[in-house]
Amino acid sequence: MNTRNTTLALVVIATLSACALQPAPKPADYRAEALGGVKPPDQWTTAGATAGPVAGSWLATFGDPRLDALVTEAMANNLDLRVAAARVQVASEYVELADSTLWPQVNLLARGGGDMGGDSSGLNGVGLFADWELDLWGRVRSERAATVAGYESVVADTEYARQSVAALVAKSYFLAVEATLQLRLAEDTVTTSQQLVTFAEQRQRVGKGDGYDTALARANLESLRDTVEKLRLSQGQSLRALEVLVGRYPAADVEVTTQLAKPPGPVPAGLPSDLLERRPDVVAADRRVAAAFYGIQEAKAARLPRISLTASVNDISSELFVLKNSDSPVWSAGASLLQPVFNAGALQTQVRIRTAEQKQAIAEYGRIGARAFAEVEDALSAEFASGRREAVLTRAVAENQTALEFAQQRFKVGSGDMRAVSQQQLVLFGANSTLLRMQSERLVQRVNLYLALGGGFDAAPVATPVAQAKE
């Protein structure tokens, strides 16, 4: 083949190799198949849900600088997030590796030899060799596209992990604040109970009471002291759980506020149709579908001929033989074709495997999407129910406080007994404790709602050593 014909052939081949890949299916193309009978409504079914845009800075709505600082600390030091960052780094390097396959591969060979060097050929010189697979059918590009989609899924998974850790830190923080307040409530109740014991002892000394009232008051006091010890243990455990999340040694010395935040105003929940485009875990599932699609394309292209261009230039001499054109470099160029002929059906099986993997990815997308809808509806229901319950419990505390004051007054004037006072004191303590639990739970449910909606939290990711090495 002369130079002109060779050049023409290369142009034709290069043109064919530039053919665009078939685009991966979009979620709208397979969403109905993935979700099956789950059909997103136009509005959320939970009564009271609003369709306004989802907030992108939910962390700031609580107005707690200590909480903000702890979330930022967790973004830098949380061990799970460090693992996730390393996964992103690995996926990124695989993308770069896939990029390299699109370009010619050039290698340099140098050798020296002689009779005394152990090389009987006596060949000396250098050679430069190039090889480039012409991606006529998109096999190489499909492999790269699958790698890129896989990388994008890892990035989305990492973002969901960041949101999950931020939410977990916030919930753990509120639980730690609650544990602190529960302990303070119990200690205050012990103080009140101690005063009641003193009063009962005074009445007994002056003959207005008997040993029964005093013993009952002391028993009630000891029961409350036991409660204090249990709550002190619970507080330490809640603080340690928070410290583990932010990457500290669990010494139970993290500082939290001494007052539960008031829940922010109503949360706009957006539209169900927008949820699947916003939640990072759903986006990650979509990218895995794309990766599986390109895996099919790669497997199909692997059944077709592979054409590669080769070129070399070398300058080699020999002490044993006289080589033609030894005084000048030798140039060569050519092409090779590799056509699979017999492989016992392995290549076709690969196509079926990749097709099954795509079906699996689509089903997984549907599972995650359906779960996302359920989580939002559950979070919305819990949001409104917790608000109603807090109002009821607040009224219950007020009524129990009034009842205790009446019981104490009756006991002081002699028209009541210690049993009524002790019982009412425990009832009031229980009512206050339940109210604190409900107030904390309401904040936890608010965080669950933000996470279910896929809202951001405005805490910038902190570069890890792995990420810094990439830069």
The CATH number linked to 362 is 1.20.1600.10
d(CA 257, CA 255): 7
d(CA 266, CA 48): 9
Query: Is residue 122 included in any domain, yes or no?
Result: no
Contacts of 61-65 with C-beta under 8 Å, sequence gap 24+, read 61/264, 62/170, 62/261, 62/264, 62/443, 63/261, 64/173, 64/257, 64/261
User: What domain range is 211 assigned to?
Assistant: 18-97+135-304+356-470
Per-residue pLDDT, 372: 94
Residue showing tokens 């190489």: 140
Write out pLDDT tens, residues 414-425.
Answer: 777 778 888 888
- Written in H, E and C, the secondary structure of 273-338 is HHHHHHCHHHHHHHHHHHHHHHHHHHHHHCCCCEEEEEEEEEEEEECCCCCCCCCCCEEEEEEEEE
Write the CB contacts of 247 (distance below 8 Å, at least 6 apart in sequence): 73, 74, 76, 77, 78, 79
Query: Is residue 150 included in any domain, yes or no?
Result: yes
CA angle (290 as vertex; 347, 272 as ends), nearest 5: 145
Q: What's the order of all strands across the beta sheet hosting 123-134? A: 105-111, 123-134, 306-318, 330-338
The arithmetic mean of pLDDT across residues 420-433, rounded, is 90
Query: Is residue 51 included in any domain, yes or no?
Result: yes
Query: Please, are residues 32 and 276 in contact by the beta-carbon 8 Å criterion?
Result: no
Read off the pLDDT band of 116 (50, 70, 90).
very low
d(CA 444, CA 385): 13
Q: What is residue 103's DSSP assignment?
A: S
Q: What is the mean pLDDT of the chain?
A: 84
Query: Is residue 344 included in any domain, yes or no?
Result: no
What is the maximum span of the chain, computed from C-alpha positions, in angstroms?
A: 131
Per-residue pLDDT, 469: 36
d(CA 168, CA 368): 20
Query: Is residue 164 included in any domain, yes or no?
Result: yes
Query: Is residue 464 included in any domain, yes or no?
Result: yes
Per-residue pLDDT, 307: 83
d(CA 107, CA 379): 60
d(CA 368, CA 343): 38
Query: Please, are residues 256 and 187 in contact by the beta-carbon 8 Å criterion?
Result: no
Q: Among 74-83, 237-246, 304-313, 387-396, which is the least confidently predicted range?
A: 304-313
Write out pLDDT tens, residues 220-258.
Answer: 899 999 999 999 999 999 999 999 999 999 999 999 998
Share of the chain above pLDDT 90, in %: 44
Into how many domains does the chain fold?
Answer: 1
The helix or strand, by DSSP H or E, that contains position 349, with its residue range, turns out to be helix 346-413
Check whether 324 has a pLDDT greater than 90.
no
Query: Is residue 161 included in any domain, yes or no?
Result: yes
Nearest alpha carbon to residue 467 among 72, 67, 81, 39: 81
Token representation of residue 367: 């599972």
Query: Is residue 193 included in any domain, yes or no?
Result: yes
d(CA 92, CA 88): 6
Read off the pLDDT band of 364 (50, 70, 90).
very high
Token representation of residue 104: 């010619």
Give per-residue burial for 98-134: e unless 16+ CB within 10 Å, then b.
beeeeeeeeeeeeeebeeeeeeeeebbbebbeeebbb
Write out pLDDT tens, residues 84-95.
Answer: 999 998 998 888
Helices 346-413 and 418-453: crossing angle in degrees, nearest 10, is: 150
Amino acid at 97: L
The arithmetic mean of pLDDT across residues 383-403, rounded, is 94
Alpha-carbon torsion (393, 448, 265, 239), positive or negative = positive
d(CA 3, CA 74): 64
List C-alpha distances in Å: 465 to 8, 15, 71, 76, 468.
Answer: 51, 43, 19, 10, 5
Q: What is the pTM of this model?
A: 0.81
Check whether 334 has a pLDDT greater than 70.
yes
Nearest alpha carbon to residue 152 among 348, 346, 286: 286
The helix or strand, by DSSP H or E, that contains position 451, with its residue range, turns out to be helix 418-453
Write out pLDDT tens, residues 377-391.
Answer: 999 999 999 999 999
